Amino acid sequence: MDTTLEDPLVGRVLDGRYRIDARIAAGGMATVYRAVDTRLDRVLALKVMHPALAADAAFVDRFIREAKSVARLAHPNVVAVFDQGTDGPYVYLAMEYVSGCTLRDVLRERGALQPRAALDILEPVLAALGAAHRAGFVHRDMKPENVLIGDDGRVKVADFGLVRSVDSVTHTTGSVLGTVSYLAPEQIENGIADTRVDVYACGVVLYEMLTGSKPHLGGTPAQVLYLHLNEDVPPPSAAVPGLSAGLDELVAHATARNPELRPTDAAALLGLTLEARALLSDGDLDAVPPQAHAEERSAAEDRTSVIPRPVAAEQPVNLTSRFETLPPPPGPAGPPAGAHRSEAPAGGRPRRGVLLAVVGVLLALGLGTGVWYINSGQFTRVPNMLGKTEEQARAQLSEAGLGVKGVERKFSDAFDRGTVMDTDPPGGRKIRGNGAVTITLSRGPEVVAVPNLKGRPLEEAKAELTRVGLAPGAVTQAFSQDVAQGSVVGTNPPGGEKRAPDTAVSIVVSKGRPVPVPGVTGLSVDQATSTLQALGLKVQTAPEQVNSPSPAGTVANQSIGAGTQAATGDTVTLTVSKGPRQLPVPNVTGQDVDAARKALEAAGFKVKVDRPLISFSNTVESQSVLGGLNAPEGSTITIRTKGL
């Protein structure tokens, strides 16, 4: 993956759902990104068609139609398709993310592979293609870049972006889609693409795995195309002396330039591959290839492209097959030419019917043996963590040098809540030494009965809810005549009802029997305290005193008001009065009675008017507290008018 170039899609959320984290690879038709489905919180691969192609409505329609078809192809060795959609100029395909490398990465690093490793990769590829062929699809772009090898060794076929229905395969004119190094002669010459073009490409891939190099190399893509049309794929043993003749024969059958001489589909080639393996000795399978050198080739040879087809008159085609000298293959069900049952080593070759049955099973179930031994020194066995707590499982993984990719939770009747019920990869499987494991913890049974918690202390009740798989919810309080204070009065839902795990259960806790609180304002602190304590209430005095109409030293107010119900043991806080504030009295002598009343009330006093029995004056002659002196807040100031 080229991380040196900025990609405008990295960091974006496509279609409001897929957050693109990094670019994985870029090809001639699309770019593949590692992304996160924010709706399901899972990592996947997002294949985004190049905008230039997305502008072609016919191409997009075909892309969508074919993506839907491939999504129905469920096979362990096929990269699964989850979703397809568009976002503005971007047309995308959401696929399974396979953490690992491609076969191309392996070939670049190691060169030629041992025959055993090559066949262990080829067989699951053929199983995947065989299932596709039997379902009516042709891949059309098989190459090492589209063979993924997971960290756990599983082999999967990717990029069915050029897939076509077998029924819809016709001659095309002018151009052909594909990768030059793996195109069958009929694709180049006539644009024909049926199941046998995938067989041809797999033969080229097998040759490349056995030798570390492509069979036809040229300075330009046009030269490579010419060689595919006019020259047979050479036997692998010509490049790697010592390889078994059975491997030469297998490559020859798969890459026959005349498509009529090839196996009809990948399932048929898988049968021949299994027969060829059965005839090989351990020495043949484990032959060590010579040190390979990186081949020089044009990058265009490995890129999926729209390739102009040569005109027959301009490019003479010689389809004379090597099978003039090598016996022709008998067809999909027949053994490789020259192999006679009587020549099979004792006990070494299975019967035809058994092999056909094995092929059928492999097509249905996939080839899951994997090729972990290619990088065996870099792999670690996942410990068995079933039944362990999450903390114990993390400790085991840490000791093994592995990490935790994520934690999932599922229902289980067999495993206690909070214990490991599954791991991905499973215990015993080998993964890369710095790999990570997903842990699945049990949520317990799918339905849980709410326990009867009445009368149990609050903390004990919470622990019991957690133990059975429910969540302690909101806690409220209520008076109760029969449940001790601090214990559970009831729950919602009530005890005995069944709920899904993790359902919140609200708890009602007893406040004890209700106690009516008397009014103690105006009483001395001692009197108020004795009165409240006699009812089972606790009393405390506020540290600060306040001015109030109550005499100094008496209770100015109480925290729980008179007439309110409290619980036994509740605390009532008493605030002590410092007496009323002393406020200055305004001088109202000589003022009109109404004006004098307003002035005194505004200053914080009560007003009393004293009029003589016979008086015709409405003017204040005197006041009980002279203006300028202080008087208690709220006290009464008497004003008098003049009499006769």
Q: Please count the CA atoms within 13 angstroms of the CA of 477 that sit on its side-chain side.
A: 11
Q: How far apart are CA 85 and CA 507, in angstroms?
A: 47
Give the pLDDT band (50/70/90) at residue 303. low
Write down the pLDDT at residue 318. Answer: 34
* 557 burial type by CB count under 10 A (0-12 exposed, 13-18 middle, 19+ buried): middle
Give the global pTM.
Answer: 0.51
Residue 284 Ramachandran class (φ > 0 left, ψ -120 to 50 alpha, else beta):
alpha
Give strand ranges (E) for 352-467: 379-381, 403-410, 420-424, 430-432, 436-442, 448-449
Write down the pLDDT at residue 1. Answer: 40
Residue reference for tokens 């405390």 = 540
Does 511 score more than 60 pLDDT?
yes
Domain 1-97: which CATH class? Answer: alpha beta
**Pairing, β 471-478 against β 504-510:** parallel
| End-to-end alpha carbon distance in the chain | 115
Average pLDDT of the chain is 82
* 550 burial type by CB count under 10 A (0-12 exposed, 13-18 middle, 19+ buried): buried
| Identical fold, 1-97 and 448-510 | no
Helix (H) or strand (E) holding 43: strand 42-49
Tell whether the torsion through CA atoms of 459, 464, 469 and 472 is positive or negative.
Answer: negative
CATH of region 448-510: 3.30.10.20
Does 507 score more than 90 pLDDT?
yes
Which phi and psi angles does 87 have, rounded to 5°? -145, 100
For 452-494, the pLDDT digits (tens) are: 999 999 999 999 999 888 999 999 999 998 899 899 999 999 9
Write down the pLDDT at residue 363. Answer: 60
Determine which of 13-27, 362-376, 555-569 has the lowest per-residue pLDDT on average. Answer: 362-376
Amino acid identity, position 552: A
Determine which of 174-178, 283-287, 384-388 has the lowest per-residue pLDDT on average. Answer: 174-178
Determine which of 9-13, 75-79, 177-181, 223-227 has the lowest per-residue pLDDT on average. Answer: 177-181
Write down the pLDDT at residue 306. Answer: 47
* Residue that wins the pLDDT comparison between 141 and 351: 141
Write down the pLDDT at residue 169. Answer: 46
Residue 588 has a CB neighbour count (10 Å cut-off) of 22
* Residue that wins the pLDDT comparison between 351 and 260: 260
Mean pLDDT, rounded, for 15-28:
86
Write down the pLDDT at residue 162. Answer: 52
Does 367 score more than 70 pLDDT?
no
What are 227's two structure tokens? 């060689």
Helix, strand, coil content of the chain in percent (nearest 5):
30, 25, 45
Give the pLDDT band (50/70/90) at residue 166. low
Catalytic residue among 120, 141, 198, 302: 141
Q: How far apart are CA 380 and CA 397, in angstroms?
A: 10
What are 46's two structure tokens? 């997002």
Tell whether the torsion through CA atoms of 242, 245, 247 and 251 is positive or negative.
Answer: positive
* Residue that wins the pLDDT comparison between 497 and 152: 497
Does 305 score more than 60 pLDDT?
no
Domain 102-372: which CATH class? Answer: mainly alpha
Write down the pLDDT at residue 174. Answer: 41
* 458 burial type by CB count under 10 A (0-12 exposed, 13-18 middle, 19+ buried): middle
Which 3 state secondary structure label does DSSP give 513?
Answer: coil
User: What is the percent of the chain with per-residue pLDDT over 90, rounded to a whole number?
Assistant: 48
Give the pLDDT band (50/70/90) at residue 371. low
Query: Could you give the dihedral angle defined by the CA atoms of residues 556, 560, 561 and 562, in that order, rounded to the nearest 10 degrees?
Result: -100
Mean pLDDT, rounded, for 427-446:
82
Write down the pLDDT at residue 349. Answer: 46
Residue reference for tokens 């038709």 = 29
Q: Please count the CA atoms within 13 angstroms of the CA of 369 that sit on its side-chain side.
A: 15
Write down the pLDDT at residue 562. Answer: 92
Sheet of 538-541: strand order equals 538-541, 571-576, 555-558
For 183-220, the pLDDT digits (tens) are: 999 988 888 789 999 999 999 999 999 999 999 887 78
- Is 37 noted as a catalytic residue in this protein? no
CATH of region 514-576: 3.30.10.20
Determine which of 218-232, 241-255, 483-497, 539-553 has the lowest per-residue pLDDT on average. Answer: 218-232
How do the domains of the chain map onto residue ranges?
1-97, 102-372, 382-442, 448-510, 514-576, 582-641
Write down the pLDDT at residue 299. Answer: 46
Which 3 state secondary structure label does DSSP give 246?
Answer: helix
DSSP state of 451: P
Q: How far apart are CA 181 and CA 187, in angstroms?
A: 12
Write down the pLDDT at residue 644. Answer: 63
Amino acid identity, position 103: L
CATH fold of 382-442, please? Trypsin Inhibitor V; Chain A (3.30.10)
Write down the pLDDT at residue 334. Answer: 40
Write down the pLDDT at residue 325. Answer: 30
Spatial CB neighbours of 9, under 8 Å, sequence gap ≥ 6: 20, 23, 31, 33, 48, 90
Strand partners, 438: 406, 424
Write down the pLDDT at residue 542. Answer: 95
Give the pLDDT band (50/70/90) at residue 502. confident
Which phi and psi angles does 413 have, rounded to 5°? -90, -15
Does 55 score more than 80 pLDDT?
no
Does 172 score more than 50 pLDDT?
no
Q: How far apart are CA 200 and CA 206, in angstroms?
A: 10
Contact 617, 588 (CB under 8 A): no
Residue reference for tokens 């009197």 = 527
Determine which of 215-229, 250-264, 351-365 has the lowest per-residue pLDDT on average. Answer: 351-365
Mean pLDDT, rounded, for 425-446:
82
Give the pLDDT band (50/70/90) at residue 573. very high
Mean pLDDT, rounded, for 566-581:
91
User: What is the percent of the chain with per-residue pLDDT over 70, rounded to a whole number?
Assistant: 82
Closest Cα partner for 450 from 421, 491, 409? 491
Amino acid identity, position 479: F
Mean pLDDT, rounded, for 367-373:
57
Helices (H), ranges, 411-520: 458-468
CATH of region 582-641: 3.30.10.20
